[in-house]
Amino acid sequence: MEVRQKHNRRLRKKLYLGEFAVNLFEIHVKLSTSKESDLDAFIASFVDQLEKQGLTYFGYSDPDGIQGHVLSQQRYESPTESQRQALSEWCGTYPTIESYELGELVDINQA
**What secondary structure, in 3-state letters, does the chain show?**
CCCCCCCCHHHHHHCCCHHHCCEEEEEEEEECCCCHHHHHHHHHHHHHHHHHCCEEEEEEEECCEEEEEEEECCCCCCCCHHHHHHHHHHHHHCCCEEEEEECCCEECCCC
Task: List, for residues 80-94, the tens digit of each pLDDT value.
Answer: 999 999 999 999 999
Task: List, for residues 13-56, the tens digit of each pLDDT value.
Answer: 888 888 888 999 999 999 999 889 999 999 999 999 999 999 99
- The pTM of the full predicted model, rounded to 2 decimals, is 0.85
pLDDT at residue 1, as a whole number:
43
